[in-house]
Amino acid sequence: MYELVQVSEKCYYINCPAKIGVYAPDKDNVYLVDSGNDKDAGRKVRQILDKNGWHLTAILTTHSNADHIGGNKYLQGQTGCKVYSGGIEAAFTEYPVLEPSFLYGGYPCKDLRHKFLMAQESNVTDFSDASFPKEIEVIPLPGHFFDMVGFRMPDGVVFLADCISSRETLEKYAVSFIYDVGAFLETLDMVEKMEVAMFVPAHAGASADIKELVCYNRDKVHEVAERILSICEKPLNFEGILQEVFKDYGLSMNFEQYVLVGSTVRSYLSWLKDNGKLANMFQDNLLLWQRV
């Protein structure tokens, strides 16, 4: 864990729970793609940088989930590096309480205000700033989170963030976190057509060809959608639907899983309703969902 793996002349990744990309345009300076899940991750990254004699110029943020920005504050404090982000992700990075608040749908209790869902704040510079390296292409990858992006480096390596998951992850957890199901599927279609030297997803193996894995991710989305439709053959409220999803996939409920899977199930309900496959009704002051 936290091994530095080279994938091209100037690109590496640090192998950890959410892969951290490294782009070294010259022998002295580097850019990170994300920073890991907490201060300890930041320390381990700093050790790798120091060992290689690299100065950290900036962190390029794919999105604001805590496991991707958790090392920002430590690294920014230690090195004075910039943290680049944009759109809603920039707001969540500067005000991390927004993540558990969004997931819970209100002010999050202490059970949700921890490092796995709420990173420490960091100062953000927008991607549009003149200091952003012009040779790096910012690629919109919406779906998993609000304004998630990837980065294409000059040598053809693309860091894909969380737009695809490994087979092992999907087989274990089944319901991967998705904010916008329609946008997620469109991103998969776009990534499937990309021709690059190497893909580096945060939660799957680096590979020059990920078409098969993209198809597997797409199939899993449609499987979950169909499972929810089956659950809604009779009118059911959200809590009942969530309970059945947990039962069907053998998941264990705790506060963190409640908000992560629960937010995802709500996103599926919205997508299915907007596509005319689910209808809703209010009965006895309950919002009920039913298959059309």
Tell whether the model's pLDDT for residue 43 goes beyond 90: yes
* Residues 94-110, mean pLDDT to the nearest whole number: 98
- Tell me whether the CATH fold assigned to 3-221 matches the one assigned to 225-291: no
Nearest C-alpha neighbor of 246 from the set 221, 265, 267, 270: 265
Share of the chain above pLDDT 90, in %: 100
* Residues 199-213, mean pLDDT to the nearest whole number: 97
Sheet holding 55-60, edge to edge: 3-6, 11-15, 20-23, 29-33, 55-60, 82-85, 125-126
Nearest C-alpha neighbor of 60 from the set 208, 156, 161: 161
Q: Residue ranges per domain, the chain?
A: 3-221, 225-291
Residue type, 254: N
Q: pLDDT tens digits, residue range 113-129?
A: 999 999 999 999 999 99
> Helix, strand, or coil here: 177?
coil
Q: pLDDT tens digits, residue range 226-276?
A: 999 999 999 999 999 999 999 999 999 999 999 999 999 999 999 999 999
* Residues 5-24, mean pLDDT to the nearest whole number: 97
* Residues 91-110, mean pLDDT to the nearest whole number: 98
Q: Span 3-221: which CATH code?
A: 3.60.15.10
* Residues 177-192, mean pLDDT to the nearest whole number: 98
**Helix crossing, 72-79 with 39-51: angle to 10°?**
40
What is the pLDDT of the chain when averaged over all its residues? 97
pLDDT of residue 284: 97
The confidence band for 86, taking pLDDT boundaries of 50, 70 and 90, is: very high
Q: pLDDT tens digits, residue range 139-172?
A: 999 999 999 999 999 999 999 999 999 999 999 9
pLDDT of residue 1: 87
* Residues 29-57, mean pLDDT to the nearest whole number: 98
Strand bridging mode 157-165 / 198-203: parallel
Nearest C-alpha neighbor of 197 from the set 25, 26, 7, 18: 7
The CA dihedral of 33, 36, 39, 41, to the nearest 10 degrees, is: -100
Radius of gyration of the chain (CA): 20
Burial of 105 (0-12, 13-18, 19+ CB in 10 A): exposed
Q: How far apart are CA 175 and CA 126, in angstroms?
A: 32
Fold assignment, 225-291: Arc Repressor Mutant, subunit A (1.10.10)
pLDDT of residue 41: 97
